[in-house]
Amino acid sequence: MARKIEGEMKSKPDMSEIEIKELRNTIKAASMKAIAENIERMKKAWPDRPQIMQYFDEISNFFGQREEEIRAHKEAGKKVVGYTCMFTPVELILAADAVPVRVGSGWYDAAKLGDRIVPVEVCPVIRSTIGAKMVHLSPYLELSDAIINPLTCDGRTKLSEIIGADKTVWTMCLPRVKDSPQSRNLWNEEVGVIKKKIEDLTGTKITGKKLRASIKLVQKATRAFRRLQGIRKGHPVIMGRDAMLVNQNSMWDDIKRWTEKTEELCDELEKRVNQKVWACPPETSRVMITGTPMIWPDNWKIPNLIEESEPQGLLVVDELCSSDRLLYDPVGVDEWTMSDMLDAVAERYLLTSTCPCFTSEHGNEDRINWLLDRIKEFKVDGVIYYVVRGCILYAMEYARIKKILDHMDIPVYYLDTEYTREDVGQMKTRIEAFLEMLEARVEI
Amino acid sequence: MISAGIDMGTQSAKVAILKDGEILSKGKAFCGFKPKDAAEEAFGEALTNGKLSRDEIRHVTATGAGVDLVSHFDSTISMMGADAQAGVYFFPSARTVVDVGAEDARAVSCDERGTMLDFVVNSRCAAGAGTFIEAMARALEVKLEEMGPLSIKAEKATPINASCVIFAESDVVSLIHRQKSKERIARAIYAALADRVSSMVHRLGIKPEVVLVGGIAEDVGFVAALERTLGMNILIPEDPVFAGAIGAALTASKRIEKVK
């Protein structure tokens, strides 16, 4: 009945083509400005930024080289499969000779547009994606032949329905309990179903040989990723924002080329370790960020403030599904049979996740252990717990994590913000006070 | 050794000058539309009160939301850091310092040296800051300084919807129309603000003694309400509005010492 009444309109807003075009152009211009400004700020804070970073700057432009490349792939007959969340098994997309690309959005202005469809209480990451779809802002989203949307939080669950109004969206149902046998079964089945959908879309059979090749390809990316993370454990040879940008690029770049460029960057950084050429003074307070994903380009607010603050902070590691958790875990295959490979792929996404969408007998203990391990490995002085308004799951896990970190004598600060540029002053005050506190602790 | 602290708040600029760790003089000026002049004016007043010339000041530390508007200073400190310093200076037993300013509220926990250990801030919403009382005083048509004494006359509060300053204002008007006593409404207004501040302090964790600073600490109505909701006595220094400036001046002294 309902479907009959709504027909094609679904949640689509009433906007004229002219309005859509004007809004798109305005937001696109603001976004390109934000990209250029962020890169300028990163260069300024790190005067001897390696030449190779220019490559990542280039790829980080959503309206540049990478858009053209993906368009060319599409014109040559390849399918583009967008995804909203890191639970998506990209190995399967690659194995079908399709192009995987992450489409989550960090656009502030697009979030405002999303308010026309959903209330402001909804998480801005979701509102921003809705807004981007409304005005066809994201080239990656528009170029996608299908979008894989893992149903992690409530926002993402409803997102499928809204952007599904005029885009093919494939959901992947995640269990709420991560480690029970029935959860594993459900997820394995979901992975199997998505494999079939990808095969049907592309008309390419995912053979054992192809899957093995794509697993190996992503394992190589993991190796490069881990190498860069390893370098960040020592004295600073790379600023945190730059490492974050490199890691985020892996979500939309060609993964093979990204791996090569990241290895190249690591070669240069290792030289600098040997020459003791530091990106900032080694005594700079070492900060970790955990919480809501922080997505390029507009939502670079907090990393910018941390690394430009007085006293300065260095972002050494984060626990964000938009950067340092992305490629950390490799797919571990025992036997290269089809079923073993699929199990291994499914396991790599489910079991290694520290996302607060899960609970288990001991709550989301995996996240706490992850944080404690990284705090030790990266010699973290203080943790910024970043939450955007409406991100209920991360907000609710704070109390437990705060208690544990207090017990370990690791300062943690709860920084709540929005997709807005207007609160930069307040954010700056808080971040400066936090870094001042870290510095004072060292002096004692 | 003479040092000075400037606290550039959203409503007024405050300056404190210290000599060998003792408060020598203070100055205060309202920001109005020329906040830059206010800092200079307050500084000038403090110098005059202390019979000093500017050259005699070895180090000036600035703090406050408007610190970027201060033209002359040697270093800065965060508002929370300054509060912690001042709290322990006033009361060596202080471990939690609560500061409610015009447009924001914050709470800091500190050690015996006045080093900040943790902090929380509320600057999202005017219903959690001093401006709330001003707006409500307007709605009740009483002078700001009469609000506190009025509220403590009431034995009970008339509940108001205080989730938002704008809504609270219209709620207060309708309560007046329904002939509720101004005393009870005033008490409810303080209770609403105190509840917000108290949840913020609870998020930080209450470590006694608790010191309240900022302009609102002079308001008997708020102090009574906060003591009620926290269930404990709160320490109030003399001239609490100067806490930020004094904290900044103490930081300035420490920085002179450090260079020596």
Quick check: A433 and B65 CB within 8 A?
A: no
Closest Cα in chain B to A423: B124
Give chain B positions within 8 Å (CB) of A383: none
Q: CB–CB of B65 and A441 under 8 A?
A: no
| Contacts with A200 (C-beta within 8 Å, 6 or more apart), sequence order | none
Residue A444 in this model has a pLDDT that exceeds 60: no
Residue A68 has pLDDT above 90, yes or no: yes
Dihedral sign for Cα A74, A76, A78, A79, please.
positive
Residues B137 and B99 in one domain: yes
Q: Is the peptide bond before B209 cis (omega within 30 degrees of 0)?
A: yes
The verdict on a CB contact (< 8 Å) between B81 and A414 is no
Which residue has 């717990």 as its token pair? A385
Which residues contact residue A8 at a Cβ distance below 8 angstroms, ignoring those fewer than 6 apart?
A165
Residue A60 has pLDDT above 70, yes or no: yes
Assess whether B185 and B69 both reside in one domain: no
Out of B56-65, B134-143, B155-164, which region has the weakest mean confidence (pLDDT)? Answer: B155-164
Q: What is the mean pLDDT of residues B219-243?
A: 95
Nearest to A433 among B113, B115, B119 (CB): B119
* Nearest-by-CA chain A residue for B82: A433
| Whole-number Å distance between alpha carbons of A39 and B94 | 45
Report CB contact under 8 Å: A414, B120: yes
The parent domain of residue A344 ranges over 15-443
Total count of domains within chain A? 1
Percent of chain B at pLDDT exceeding 90: 67
Instruction: Say if residue B65 is in the same domain as residue B21.
Output: yes
pLDDT band at residue A10 under the 50/70/90 scheme: low
- Residues B205 and B223 both lie in one domain: yes
User: Do B167 and B42 lie in a common domain?
Assistant: no
Q: Is B81 in contact with A411 (Cβ distance < 8 A)?
A: no
| Two structure tokens written together for B111 | 């050690």
Compute the nearest-CA separation of A385 from chain B (Å). Answer: 13
**Is residue A164 in a domain?**
yes
Confidence class of residue B66 from pLDDT cuts 50, 70 and 90? Answer: confident
Return phi, psi of residue A172, to 5°: -130, 120
The answer to whether B81 contacts A440, with C-beta atoms less than 8 Å apart, is yes
The reported pLDDT for the residue numbered B127 is 67
Please report residues of A whose CB lies closer than 8 A to that of B62. none
pLDDT digits (tens, 9 = 90+) for B1-29: 999 999 998 889 999 999 998 999 999 99
When the pLDDT of each residue in chain A is averaged and rounded to a whole number, the result is 94
Query: Which of B77, B120, B123 faces A426 most closely, judged by CB atoms?
Result: B123
- Closest by CA to B77, choosing from B89, B93, B59, is B59
Tell whether ipTM is more than 0.95: no
Whole-number pLDDT of residue B33: 82
| Subunit contact A437:B121, Cβ cutoff 8 A | no
The pLDDT tens digits of the residues spanning A314-362 come to 999 999 999 999 999 999 999 999 999 999 999 999 999 999 999 988 9
pLDDT of residue A11: 60
CB–CB contact B79 A429 (8 Å): yes
Position A426 in a domain: yes
Structure tokens at B5: 């602290």
A259-286: pLDDT as tens digits: 999 999 999 999 999 999 999 999 999 9
Of the candidates B78, B115, B118, which has its C-beta nearest A429's C-beta?
B78
Average pLDDT for residues A102-119, to the nearest whole number?
91
CB–CB contact A432 B78 (8 Å): yes
Residues forming a β-bridge with B97: B108, B211
The residue type at A322: S
Do B117 and A437 count as a contact with CB atoms less than 8 A apart? yes
Task: Indicate if the pLDDT at residue A425 is higher than 90.
Answer: no
B217 and B147 both lie in a single domain: yes
- Give φ, ψ of A317 to 5 degrees: -165, 155
Q: What is the pLDDT of residue B132?
A: 87
User: Per-residue pLDDT for A124 more than 80?
Assistant: yes
Distance from CA of A37 to the nearest CA of B (A): 22
pLDDT of residue A270: 98
pLDDT at B233: 95
Query: Is B126 in the same domain as B232?
Result: yes
pLDDT value of position B242: 96
Element (H, E) at B18: strand B12-19
B85 with B103, same domain: the answer is no
Residues B125-160 as b/e (b if ≥16 CB within 10 A, e otherwise) read ebbbbbbbbbbbbebbebeeeebbebbbebeebbeb
Query: Over chain B, what is the mean pLDDT?
Result: 91
> Contact B116/A440, CB-based, under 8 Å?
yes
Contact A411 B118 (CB under 8 A): yes
* Residues B149 and B126 reside in one and the same domain: yes
Is the pLDDT at A158 greater than 90? The verdict is yes
Backbone angles phi, psi at A44, to 5 degrees: -65, -40
pLDDT bin (cut points 50, 70, 90) of residue A12 is low
Contact A163, A130 (CB under 8 A): yes
Assess whether B63 and B175 both reside in one domain: no
Cβ contact A433–B115 (<8 Å):
no
Give how far A432 is from chain B: nearest CA, Å. Answer: 7
Q: Give the three-class secondary structure for A320.
A: coil
- Which residues in A have their CB inside 8 Å of a CB on B? 310, 411, 413-414, 425-426, 429-430, 432-434, 436-437, 440-441, 444
Q: Tens of pLDDT along A176-189?
A: 999 899 999 999 99
Confidence band, pLDDT 50/70/90 cuts, at residue B215? confident
Contacts by residues A47-53 (CB-CB < 8 Å, ≥ 24 positions apart): A48/A277, A48/A279, A49/A239, A49/A242, A50/A265, A50/A268, A50/A269, A51/A268, A52/A261, A52/A264, A52/A265, A52/A268, A53/A242, A53/A246, A53/A265
Task: Please determine, for residue B162, whether its predicted confidence score (pLDDT) is greater than 90.
Answer: no
Q: What CATH number is attached to the domain comprising B182?
A: 3.30.420.40
Count CB neighbours of A110 within 10 A. Answer: 28
- Can you give the pLDDT at residue B126? 66
- Quote the pLDDT of residue B65: 86
The pLDDT value recorded for residue B179 is 85
Residues belonging to chain B with any Cβ–Cβ distance to chain A shorter than 8 Å: 65, 76-81, 113, 115-121, 123
- Report the residue from B80, B115, B123 with minimal CB separation from A433: B80
The stretch A84-90 carries a mean pLDDT of 96
CA dist list (Å): B72 to A309, A311, B61, B67, B81: 20, 19, 9, 10, 20
Question: Is B70 in the same domain as B6?
Answer: yes
Residue A147, pLDDT > 80, answer yes
CA distance B228 to B222: 10
Question: From CA A324, how far away is CA B184, in angstroms rounded?
Answer: 54
Q: Do B81 and A433 touch (CB under 8 A)?
A: yes
Q: Which residues of A touch B123 (CB under 8 A)?
A: 426
Residues of chain A contacting B76 with CB distance shorter than 8 Å: 310
Distance from CA of B71 to the nearest CA of A (A): 17
Interface probe with A: pick from B78, B85, B88, B109, most Cβ of A within 10 Å? B78
Q: How many CB pairs under 8 A join A and B?
A: 38
Facing residue for B115 by CB, picked from A414, A433, A444: A444
Residue B72 has pLDDT above 70, yes or no: yes
Under a CB-based contact definition with an 8 Å cutoff, are residues B47 and B65 in contact? Answer: no
d(CA A214, CA B92): 64
Give the range of the structural domain holding residue B162, as residue numbers without chain letter.
92-236
**Taking residues A168-196, what's their average pLDDT?**
96
B115 neighbourhood in chain A, CB within 8 Å = 440-441, 444
Do B121 and A426 make contact, defined as CB atoms within 8 angstroms?
yes
| Confidence check: pLDDT of A242 > 90 | yes
Residue of A nearest to B121 (CA): A430
Query: With an 8 Å Cβ cutoff, are B78 and A426 in contact?
Result: no
- Look up residue A438 and give its amino acid: L
Whether residue B248 contacts residue B174, with contact meaning beta carbons closer than 8 Å, is answered with no
Q: How close does chain B come to A437, measured CA to CA in Å?
A: 6
Interface test with B, best of A383, A415, A436 (most B CBs within 10 A): A436
Q: What is the mean pLDDT of residues A369-381?
A: 97
> Do residues B41 and B104 share a domain?
no
Residue B168 is predicted with a pLDDT of 81
User: What is the tally of structural domains in chain B?
Assistant: 2
How far B121 CA sits from the closest chain A CA (Å)? 8
User: A402, A434, A437, A439: best mutation site toward chain B, by most B Cβ within 10 Å?
Assistant: A437
